[in-house]
Amino acid sequence: MLDLRHSIGVVLALVSFAVAASRTGTLRAATAESAAERLLSAASAPAEHPEYGSTRAWLRNKVVRDSDLEKYGLHLNDDWTRADSTRPVIILIHGFNSTPKQNAALLGPIHGAGFPCGTFAYPNDYMIRYAAQLLSSELRHFRQQYPGRRVVLVCHSMGGLVARACVEDSLYDPGNVERLIMIAPPTHGTVLAHFAVGTDLWEHWLSRKEGWPWQRVRDSIVDGLGEAACDLCPHSEFLTELNSHPRNPHVRYTVMLGTGARLSEAQLDWIRDSVCHAIAKLPGGSSRAEDLNKFLADVDELVDGKGDGVVAVKRGRLDGVPDTVVMPFGHLAVTGAATTDVIHSVQHAVLVRVE
């Protein structure tokens, strides 16, 4: 299995190469200390989830401190109390290996339309269930402070799973979420999660310019050590449990899925045939090539018209959600500024549903 995963990893690296070729001030709804305490408590409970490995849990317990976790939780814009109090508060939830800042463009039109806005930040590579628990705690605290205020969650990618794990579990449902808008949610996982290696390398070393080396290492550990990627694999224990839950009858759902992947069926077939043929020539490679060929027969995530480059349309759909929209956007591009008609259309579709 290890050899097969290595072979598939090589193929996906080639695919990625082919595709490449073609906070202002905030008002917190809960104290930084309380959010840190909840996350630290979550990080110190490895015995309940042995599948994530005692080594990773031990490392987090040794390295992670309260001060490392103060940045996580619910943050509301400074001007949110000046907005019409009859309007819902819009909370943006980012995805895997991302941050609120990287998704800020999604809130632009909504904030511009006069809605009170905020963001929810969480360790972007740690267990999804604990991000959901933190979200629940923060929204419950907000409800205590502002009873009667309605909340709309606008989520990108894995953020949608965090939100669903919160509102669809009676133990965690805060009771003040009235709408859930999910953009590119990996409802049934993504095949690419099997090979989510090097993401922290990119986030904390290649795309980041500030911070001493040790700080970057700490940040990488605080964010998580690959637990989220395990949760995102199709048929994972987390996804199996989450998708067994019924929809929350008090929440209106929207799912927006993209078809803007860069590879055609023919290009993916060519890559599959070429690499499998090469592997088959290696000693003992025939069986691995056969297994690899079967695996690559279902990577719709990467095919134009079938996926957005990370999430396949068929793995993004959610039962019981009639308001499902399919648009030609790419997974990461959709979180950026509205520089194209497609991204503008997505932002408009979100704004219409918020209103």
CATH number of the domain where residue 44 is located: 3.40.50
Give the Å distances, CA to CA, from 125 to 65, 134, 348. Answer: 17, 14, 29
Would you say 100 and 94 are in contact if contact means Cβ atoms under 8 Å apart? Answer: yes
User: Average of pLDDT values for 94-117?
Assistant: 94
Domain count, the chain: 1
Query: What residue numbers bound the domain in which 77 lies?
Result: 24-256+331-354
272-275 — which CB contacts under 8 Å span 24+ positions? Answer: 272/11, 272/296, 272/297, 275/7, 275/10, 275/11, 275/14
Residue 155 domain-assigned (yes or no) = yes
Residue 263 domain-assigned (yes or no) = no
The pLDDT assigned to 294 comes to: 78
Residue 118 domain-assigned (yes or no) = yes
Residue 269 domain-assigned (yes or no) = no
Residue 8 domain-assigned (yes or no) = no
Residue 285 domain-assigned (yes or no) = no
**Which of 46-60, 140-154, 172-186, 274-288 is predicted least confidently?**
46-60
Residue 323 domain-assigned (yes or no) = no
Greater model confidence, 133 or 70: 133
Report the predicted TM-score, pTM, of the whole model to 2 decimal places.
Answer: 0.80
Which residues does 83 contact at the CB level (< 8 Å), separation at least 6? 114, 115, 116
Residue 207 domain-assigned (yes or no) = yes
Q: What percent of the chain is modeled with pLDDT above 90? A: 57
**pLDDT over 70 at 257, yes or no:** yes
